[in-house]
Amino acid sequence: MSSSPNSKLKFPKHFLWGAATAAHQVEGGNHNQWTVWELENAKALAAQAEYQLDDLQSWDRIKHEAKNPSSYVSGEAVDHYGRYEEDFDMLGHMNMNAYRFSVEWSRIEPEQGAWNAEAVMHYKDKLASLKRRNIEPIVTLFHFTMPVWFSELGGFEKRSNVKHFIRFAEKVVSELGPTVRFIITINEPDVYSFATYHMGMWPPATRSKFKLWRVINNLAYAHRQAYKAIHKLGGRHKISIAKNSVYFYAGDDSWLSRTSAAIAQYLQDDYLLKKVIKHTDFLGINYYMSQRIYGYRIHNPELPVTDLEWSFAPGDIQYVLERLYAKYKKPIIITENGLADATDESRQKWITKTIVGMQAAMENGVDLQGYIHWSLLDNFEWSYGIWPRFGLAAVDYASGKRSLRPSARWFGRVIKNIRGL
């Protein structure tokens, strides 16, 4: 497949091929709970980098950025807010027909109950630009950032605050209207909760098992309420969460390894999905890695890794898709998939093995309707700062210049042939 990856691949005519971004990671100029936290913690994150990241294989290459406090302040990011037309042109160059992005809650409702008409119009203009290019938008309502006022009320720690998110969801959908068919209410509810309340890595960086599970449950509740509220507005919307899935499997045939892998998979996928599945029209799945379990330990001894030292197992997406479809019987869109690869040495191989896994899953009966690559652009990667490079398009942070990586140009040719363009 490496020399002619499209020769035997068959996908439905209306299959979605696209890329994704998130507002805070690319727009620039935001003011939300993350920007406040960044400014307070950038020096500490830079100081911690050397002893937290120096065992990465990529350390010598990334250490200059990783040890620089400015790398942990999103600032102007890559100015997607001002340069989205240019960025959308790159979607066209790759022959893509879909784009997933998030609307920034703090722009639209900077103060409680005060709507910013200019920000709403900006997102309307983005949608119009996508429509001119025949690109299907997939709109995310919550991708880890919230207005400062909502955070000060306690955010999703309090179920009584969910009503504010529902009001925001209703406002966005009513304003953007019929131009949006696919809606992701909440991106990776469990990742947000775990990174914030278990690892203490994200704002408000509070370690509390009680808050961890409460926030996961409140986010599931928020999705269910948003699903019902949006459908009451009418229209043809298809709604889901974007669920991060890690494929766990036993490294040996011992009872303990098999049981540990099954428990880990349940906690990874099913605990949350069982709370929302009846309120989804499809399943949005984000896949980045697999984990092998020996006994009760995760151990991936011979697997290659990405720049973030995440296991390199793109083909395992087949098993993720097959498991989730068999269990939940919902159409699936892969809403994120990719790797940090600054040298672009492994991205083509990743995409190749991913597409093969996707087709194998479809041949085994999975109703797969789209593939959205993370990310369109190099971006601000949360508490890691700017050094991880996920973009199909490389961004020079000093000049803002964009350029499609060789793997992106190759991927564009693959999509062109698959789509018969």
- The residue type of 67 is K
Judge whether 410 and 93 are in contact, CB under 8 Å: no
- The helix/strand/coil state of 376 is coil
What is the per-residue pLDDT for 4? 43
Residue 53 is encoded by which pair of tokens?
Answer: 């990241």
At 3, the pLDDT band (50, 70, 90 cuts) reads very low
What is the per-residue pLDDT for 157? 98
CA-wise closest residue to 184 among 281, 253, 87: 281
Q: Which residue has the higher pLDDT, 235 or 42?
A: 42
- Check whether 324 has a pLDDT greater than 50: yes
- Check whether 155 has a pLDDT greater than 80: yes
By the 10 Å C-beta count (0-12 exposed, 13-18 middle, 19+ buried), 40 is classed as exposed
pLDDT single digits (tens) 261-283: 999 999 999 999 999 999 999 99
pLDDT single digits (tens) 87-103: 999 999 999 999 999 99
Alpha carbon 42 to chain centroid distance?
A: 23
- Give the number of other CB atoms < 10 A from CB of residue 304: 11
Rounded CA-CA distance 282/213 in Å is 24
Strands 297-298 and 283-294: antiparallel
Residue 23: phi, psi to the nearest 5?
A: -50, -55
Half-sphere exposure of 358 (CA within 13 A, CB side): 24
- 243, β-bridge pairs: 285
Residue 190 is encoded by which pair of tokens?
Answer: 């469990």
Q: What angle (nearest 5°) sits at the alpha carbon of residue 413, between those of residues 12 and 347?
A: 95
- The helix/strand/coil state of 153 is coil
What is the per-residue pLDDT for 118? 98
Half-sphere exposure of 408 (CA within 13 A, CB side): 28
- Give the number of other CB atoms < 10 A from CB of residue 343: 11
pLDDT single digits (tens) 186-214: 999 999 999 999 999 999 999 999 999 99
- Check whether 416 has a pLDDT greater than 80: yes
What average pLDDT does the chain have?
95
For residues 380-390, average pLDDT:
96
47: Cβ contacts below 8 Å, ≥ 6 apart: none
Q: Which residue has the higher pLDDT, 251 or 300?
A: 251
Judge whether 32 and 147 are in contact, CB under 8 Å: yes
Helices (H), 74-204: 80-93, 105-108, 117-132, 148-152, 162-176, 189-197
The percent of residues in the chain predicted with pLDDT above 70, rounded, is: 98
At 7, the pLDDT band (50, 70, 90 cuts) reads low
Cis peptide upstream of residue 204 (ω within 30 degrees of 0): yes
Rounded CA-CA distance 286/331 in Å is 14
At 50, the pLDDT band (50, 70, 90 cuts) reads confident
Structural domain boundaries in the chain: 16-419
Its pTM surpasses 0.95:
yes
Residue 366: phi, psi to the nearest 5?
A: -70, 135
At 51, the pLDDT band (50, 70, 90 cuts) reads confident
- Domain 16-419 belongs to what architecture? Alpha-Beta Barrel (3.20)
For residues 44-72, average pLDDT:
91
pLDDT single digits (tens) 213-257: 999 999 999 999 999 999 999 989 999 999 999 999 999 999 999
By the 10 Å C-beta count (0-12 exposed, 13-18 middle, 19+ buried), 338 is classed as buried
